[in-house]
Amino acid sequence: MPSILETYEATHGRSKALAARAARVFPSGVTHDARAFFPFQIYVDRAEGGRKWDVDGNEYVDFIGGHGALLLGHNRPEVMAAAAEAMARGTHFGSSHDLEIEWGQQVIDMVPCAERVRFTSSGTEATMMALRLARAY
């Protein structure tokens, strides 16, 4: 009877090969430490709803959900339609636009104590900004 490790390696051959390639490109072989799995990470090929499939055809329930960003699942039709409509206007303006005001107002409407909002690129950036604000106060 094969061990769990042997079974994993036997059913994830393409992921194993991609992990070997990635080890030559990225420190620790991954672009984010949360993806560092033993003996190697899986490589996803596609996702739909709450499921995803790796490059070897194995199906998974997606408990990661884009680290919280995909609460509605992958490729939800109304989300895809809204994204396509927004992308038709442009993909990265690098300037202010009306939709950011609407988005900010929605946040204020949903968070009763919020008077104004600041968008950041990451949780790390938000934390660093909060620390600077606390120090200044």
- What does the alpha-carbon distance between residue 103 and residue 88 come to, in Å, rounded to a whole number? 18
Low-confidence ranges of the chain (pLDDT < 50): none
Cα dist. 11→2, 3, 87 in Å? 12, 12, 38
DSSP assignment letter at 35: G
Nearest to 108 by CA among 117, 100, 99: 117
Beta-carbon contacts of residue 135 (< 8 Å; ≥ 6 apart): none
Q: Which two three-digit tokens encode residue 43? A: 């490589």
What is the pTM assigned to this prediction? 0.71
- pLDDT tens for 65-97 read 888 888 899 999 999 999 999 999 998 888 999
